[in-house]
Chain A
Amino acid sequence: MIAKVDYQNVNDRKPDGLKTDGTPYRVLVVDDSMFVVKQIGQILTSEGFEIVGTAVDGSEALEKYKELHPNVDLVTMDITMPKVDGVTALEQILAFDKEARIIMISALGKQDLVKKALMIGAKNYIVKPLDRKKVLERVVQCLK
């Protein structure tokens, strides 16, 4: 669904989405909104990231993570989703893989839920509307 984009090396800067060995970071995008999935996909693939899977709710997120593991470097997780929400999914994925790198994407800012997610073990959070620069900064920081 998300096309892999061939990036152009217009300068010496290495695209954010590539590891040192040249292979792309693999991302699982979890969000119930087709629009957000598309947006995140566009931002990340333009920097060389590879979207290896998507999920529309927390239970699908856990399933996909288990399936793809260990070939997932990062999960972007929406907080508000039907069925199983992002904070619960975060907990469950970390229980499965304590090294999992998960960054919360939310329209809610300094809310209890966001704080809770960070306490449970999310690496960081990004507030919507998504700003390309901010997204890439936080994602890169998350992957260090």
Chain B
Amino acid sequence: MRVEYINPFVEATFSILKEVLNTKVERGELYLKPTSHPVLGVAAIVGLAGDVEGRVLFDMARETAISIASIMNGEELTEFDELGKATIAELANMITAQAVTKLHDLGFRFDLTPPALITGINMEVSSPNVEALIVPVTLPQGKLEINVAIRERA
């Protein structure tokens, strides 16, 4: 992934999570993965287009998703229902959008698509021929992985 794109995603993740959850957010070391990977239980995906094509995927366990959604809604959710899903999708949207805004300031033109949310066990999500940058995040609510797979439009 292009070096200049990395910080905006990392910073947006941090900034939005802190603001929205009002909690301690710890970042693990960034690393690269060949893109196919199983979903931890809940994945929110935002598509990217413009100077690049690809997607950002937010990957977490169901319990973590429920915890986060509960905080964001100011009420305890007991299951991962429609409201919970909409909440996590919106979180993904906010983080991606803030990253895209920062990139815009740097001169890069990115567009984003509305978020999609998928749940399941051992699902594989893959974009052919694109490796992914992983930003691991640890919250009191559990682990979250931001998975960015984008390819320059030549």
A–B in direct contact per CB < 8 Å? yes
Point out which of A33, A107, A109, A112 has the most chain B C-beta atoms below 10 A from its C-beta. Answer: A107
Interface centre among A36, A38, A80 (most CB of B within 10 A): A80
Determine if B104 and A80 form an interchain contact, defined as CB atoms under 8 angstroms apart: no
Q: CB of B97 within 8 A of chain A?
A: yes
Residues on the B chain within 8 Å of A107, using CB? 93-94, 96-98
Give the contact stretch, choosing among B24-32, B81-89, B136-144: B81-89
A109: chain B residues at CB < 8 Å are 97-98, 101, 104
Interface of A is mostly: loop
With an 8 A cutoff between CB atoms, is B71 at the interface? no
For A32, give the chain B residue with the smallest CB separation: B114
In chain A, what residue has the closest Cβ to B82? A34
Of B16, B101, B109, the contact of A108 (CB 8 Å cutoff):
B101
Cβ of A71 to closest chain B Cβ, rounded Å: 27
B4 at the interface (CB under 8 A from A): no
Q: How far does the alpha carbon of A56 sit from the alpha carbon of B30 in the complex, in Å?
A: 36
